[in-house]
Amino acid sequence: MRSALDRDLARWERGELSLADLGLRHPGRAGGMIALYQRLTDIGVAAVPDPEPGWVRLRQRLPQRPDVVQVRTVGPAFVLRRLVARPLALAAALVLLGGAIGYAAAPKAVNHRLSSFWESVENMFQDEPRQGGPDRTPGSPRDDEHGLAPSVPDDEEGDDGDGEEGEDRGDGDDGDDREDGDDDHRDGPSEDSGEGSGDDVEPDD
Amino acid sequence: MLREPNPSTPPLERPNIFASIPDVRTETDEAEVRTLDLVQRLVERAREGREDAFGDLYRRYHAPLFRLARAHLGDGAEDAVAETFLRAWKGLPGYKDTGAPFLAWLYGIARHVIADEFRRRARVEPRADLPDGRVEWKVDDELTLAAAIRGLPDEQRQVIELKFLMGATNAEVAAALGKSEGAVNAKQWRALGALRKMLEEA
């Protein structure tokens, strides 16, 4: 709550009340306030030195500032990079990591199957001379038909009734005999169980 | 001798802190708005690193800051003003226009500069070597008054410093403090009452 003195002082400040009236209304109280008011007012209007020399001195002390900071425009490419590329890269890394861990942790049999699978895939795309033997030429009609290169020459094909692919590959590829043989050994029981098992069982019988 | 305020003019004949640019006058509200726009433009340019615009701000606000510093520090007011503007220059990139007068932002910096100077003086001049403070204050009434102002509650101190020492209008003080003009006026008279009491007791 404002006192009557405060209200009258505000009226005096606005010019709505004379000093004499103020003194009459608040004898002995208003005088000290007005004196202080005028003392402060005098401080506020006191002369000050010319600012120019001060500015000249200050200007030499101002540190250089770079121009306005350029705000980078965010375009669709930036958004795409942020929203798609990074999550994709992260997902790919996770898949690769998971695959590597899974491969390392999987049983040997599974790893062998995977190896043979990748090998068969690799064989599909290998060069013709390696697959078809020295007397076959690349791009022969048979290659085009089956997509897989035969591993034995045409003249031997009829002799081998079972057409076992692993065995044929071993015959055709001189350099990889031992390796292919191993693969056949691994693949035989699982892939060609019908034919392979028959051969294996015969000696026992 | 007590004086009547002049009813035909604003109650206080204060220095016009916007008067340093000759082509801008503040006699009407419209002109005042133009002046504020001009200050905003100067501030924007100064933020961009334009020293000439900052120089205009310096010339415009040198007097109120000098009076504030002189009231509190006596000697060394010019150095305090320079330090205030130096800090303002460094701080301008982070300045945000909140609607308060730019003077209020400078005032906030100046208060820190003055406080730092008091701390520095306290370190450099041990109290035992100082002359008797009471005698000194009686010699220099202005410093006595300034010491009493520093003893006021913070908002009352801000009202007195902004309005009387720096020449801000009631509207500017109200904008700076985020209060109504009526509230500012009430604080002003309460502060004057407290000051009078402190000075009588000193």
Mean of all residue pLDDT scores within chain A: 69
The pLDDT value given to residue B5: 61
Give the domain CATH number at B153: 1.10.10.10
Measured between beta carbons, the chain A residues lying within 8 angstroms of B186 are: 2, 6
Kindly list the residues from chain B whose CB atom is less than 8 angstroms away from the CB atom of residue A62. 51, 54, 86, 89
Q: Reduce the secondary structure of B128-184 to three states and give it as a string.
A: HHCCCHHHHHHHCHHHHHHHHHHCCCHHHHHHHHHHHHCCCCHHHHHHHHCCCHHHH
From the candidates B189, B196, B198, B201, which should be mutated to test the interface with A, based on the most A CB atoms within 10 A? Answer: B189
Domain span holding position B44:
13-130
Name the pTM for this structure: 0.58
For residue A128, what are the contacts with CB-CB under 8 A and spacing of at least 6? A136, A137, A138, A139, A143, A149
Tell me if B88 is assigned to some domain: yes
pLDDT single digits (tens) B87-135: 999 999 999 888 889 999 999 999 999 999 999 988 876 554 444 444 3
Predicted complex ipTM: 0.76
Contact state of A37 with B85 under an 8 Å Cβ cutoff: no
Answer yes or no: is B44 within a domain: yes
- Report whether pLDDT(B142) > 90: no
Domain for residue B1, yes or no? no
pLDDT band at residue B3 under the 50/70/90 scheme:
low
Query: What does the pLDDT look like over A30-53, one tens digit per residue?
Result: 888 999 999 999 888 889 999 999
Residue B44: per-residue pLDDT: 93
User: Is B29 found in the same domain as B87?
Assistant: yes
* Residue range A54-95, pLDDT digits in tens: 999 999 999 987 655 544 556 677 777 778 888 889 999 999
Contacts with A9 from chain B: Cβ below 8 Å: 189
Report, in angstroms and rounded to the nearest whole number, the Rg of chain B calculated over CA atoms.
18
A108 close to B (CB below 8 A): no
Domain boundary among B130, B157, B174: B130
Encoding tokens for residue B65? 């800051």
User: CA dihedral in degrees (B75, B79, B82, B88; nearest 10)?
Assistant: -90
Q: Is A77 helix (H, G, I), strand (E, B) or coil?
A: helix
